[in-house]
Amino acid sequence: MILQNPGAFYLLFGTLLILLLHFLRSRERRREVSSLFLWEGLPGDPQSKAARFRQHMDPLLLLQLGTLVALSFALTQPLLRIPQQSVSGLAIVIDGSASMRTQTDTGVSRYQEAIEEAVAALTRYPADNTVLIQFSEHPQLLAGPDESSKLAAILRNSSPTWYRDGTAEDLLTMLGSVGGARQFDRIIVLSDQPMIGLPPQAEVILLNEGENVGITGFSVRQNAPDAGISAFVEILNGTASYVDTQIHISDGENQTTLTLMLPPNTADQYVIPFPNSRGSVFTVTLDHPDALDADNRRHFSLDRPIDVRIFWIGDRNRYLMAALRASAPVTEVNDITLADLVIVNQTQVPSIEQGVVLLIQSGMDHVLTLGELREAGDIVASSPNHSILRSVDARDFRIRQIAEAQFEVPFETLLESNGYPVLAEVNDPPRRLFFFTADLMNTNLPVTVDFPILIRNLVHELVRIPAELSFQSPEVGDFISLQGRGVVRSLTNSRNQRIPYSEALLTFAPLEPGIYTLTTDRGAFALTVNIPASETVLKGTSQVISIHTETEESERLYALWPILLAIAVLLLLFEIYLHLGLSVPLRRST
């Protein structure tokens, strides 16, 4: 023990003054009696001196003496020597990969547990040269040697990333940027995976509690030229028991569901047909809440625009455009080869050999020739079960005139009036032609409820331009190319926030999973980014691997004076309380 101010012991001489005043104070009282003869000749009590001494040593005196002694010791400012281990250099490496978000049995994440372990290590191994590293595929330095005063705060303010795990080589490279691994006597690695190739002074603490079931793979293949897609899904059951669950695949409009029984500790693959889908962006969801919910959802996008690209021939109709925009995102293009839907309004056109075409009171060479106009009557659905007429009530349609149609190819009448086609289809793969034989502005369709429904059904029937084959979706940390989709106008995330990208290289590196939207002069494209599949795989059980390296024994000085001062104050308060209690006279009961 070290006394920084030993002269304060002179205050202990004050105990003599307290004792003197205490014994000088008389505690005997005079009493008048009738006679003293009763006490004459009585022998003295041999215990009277001891009893008299005990009478003078009351609790108030002891409390006063204790207060003075505690105060004197506090003023000497004593310091207690506490032995501890010390190192000249300390590196704390905390795993910041996506799997560290996994919840443990205690209700906190692995990353939070790692932070508490790191804070304890800072106290256990004080060092002049301490660095904090958040480790993943893209490691970063959280704190350097010049920030030793706020290391604990920096740790608690950090959060895990969405990157995949890094390697031992990545860690050695990061340590090289702060002087090299040799300058650190101890390297503490807090992670949920073991690493091979670490320096000999490394201490690895594994934190991998929490069972997980997750989707490790998801891709989509377009069934061109037919409608629909086929989905590939891989699911890992990392638990020790069978899991009964469901997966849902959605394209934003339609959904298909598959019920599964997953064996324990296995990864199973499934191919799921989705014949009704014509979308571009797909999401698979796993109905199994567990320790890591982030890998229960994955996305995939076909490499084609997510908006419907329209090419106009003839006059542009604003009512039809409003109905189209109410059904899906729409972009008008100037190249018919890029169009998903060609609209021909009141004009004769050459034969279009592929794609979807809507002709409004228009003819097409070698397919349809329009004749004279005639008055229209009630509108009747000739093919009420056709997908274009789904949820459409044609009895509310009012049409003034229709043009007689002379088809040169087989066709199907969908709506008719007085035996003449009003809406007809020519299904001649790889083209689908829809003919509306009336002038849209001479009908009540633009103001009816069923017209937008009719247009929505048409949009859903579009056979989109086949996408380039791609079976992998980028993951967080990958550099994603923006080239080949036209002139870039903007890049936004799922919250419609603008994302920076390299204009020189036309690439960007996503920091989180989700669906990003790339807007170009050729339309809008969806870029899907997923959590790294490797982060779903859980390794073993919780354990601590300790590698004992030689550390120097040092001492830490612990100040005792605050404790002694607190004891003195408490004794003084108790003495005051006891004094007030004894000074109150007792009332006699009559």
Q: Give the model confidence (pLDDT) of 72-93 as tens digits.
A: 887 888 777 665 555 678 899 9
Domain spans of the chain?
1-21+48-84+556-590, 88-210, 213-304+532-536, 308-460, 480-529
**pLDDT score for 399:** 94
Q: Is pLDDT at 55 greater than 80 in this prediction? A: no
**pLDDT score for 258:** 93
The pLDDT-based confidence of 515 (bands split at 50, 70, 90) is very high
Q: Is pLDDT at 197 greater than 50 in this prediction? A: yes
In 3D space, the residue among 75, 67, 71, 73 whose CA is nearest the CA of residue 578 turns out to be: 67
Range name among 15-19, 114-118, 141-145, 424-428 with the lowest pLDDT average: 15-19
Q: Which CATH superfamily is domain 308-460 in?
A: Class I glutamine amidotransferase (GATase) domain (3.40.50.880)
Cis bond before residue 562 (omega within 30° of 0): no
Cis bond before residue 430 (omega within 30° of 0): yes
Bigger pLDDT: 110 vs 123: 110
For residue 134, the number of C-alpha atoms closer than 13 Å in the C-beta half-sphere is 24
Tell me which amino acid residue 441 is: M
DSSP 388: G
Two tokens, residue 264: 């324990």
Question: Topology of 213-304+532-536 in CATH?
Answer: Immunoglobulin-like (2.60.40)
**pLDDT score for 463:** 58
Q: Give the model confidence (pLDDT) of 220-254 as tens digits.
A: 988 765 567 889 999 999 888 999 999 999 988 78
The model carries a pTM of 0.66
Q: Is pLDDT at 268 greater than 80 in this prediction? A: yes
Q: Residues 402-415: what's their mean pLDDT?
A: 94
Q: Give the model confidence (pLDDT) of 473-500 as tens digits.
A: 899 999 999 998 889 999 999 999 999 9
Q: Give the model confidence (pLDDT) of 537-559 as tens digits.
A: 754 444 444 444 444 445 556 67
Is 515 in contact with 77 (CB distance < 8 Å)? no
In 3D space, the residue among 230, 254, 255 whose CA is nearest the CA of residue 461 turns out to be: 254
Give the separation between CA 479 and CA 469, rounded to whole angstroms. 19
DSSP 522: T
Binning the chain into helix, strand and coil, the percentages to the nearest 5 are: 25, 35, 40
Bigger pLDDT: 319 vs 578: 319
Q: Is pLDDT at 562 greater than 60 in this prediction? A: yes
308-460 matches 88-210 in CATH topology: yes
Is 31 in contact with 39 (CB distance < 8 Å)? no
DSSP 46: T
Question: Which CATH number, 3.40.190.10, 3.40.50.300, 3.40.50.410, 3.30.499.10, labels domain 88-210?
Answer: 3.40.50.410
Give the separation between CA 515 and CA 336, rounded to whole angstroms. 28
Q: Is pLDDT at 53 greater than 60 in this prediction? A: no
> Read out DSSP for 421-442?
EEEEEEEETTEEEEEE-S-GGG
Give the separation between CA 433 and CA 423, rounded to whole angstroms. 10
Place of tokens 């993943």: 136
Is 286 in contact with 268 (CB distance < 8 Å)? no
Q: How many Cβ atoms are within 10 Å of 459's Cβ, its own excluded?
A: 19
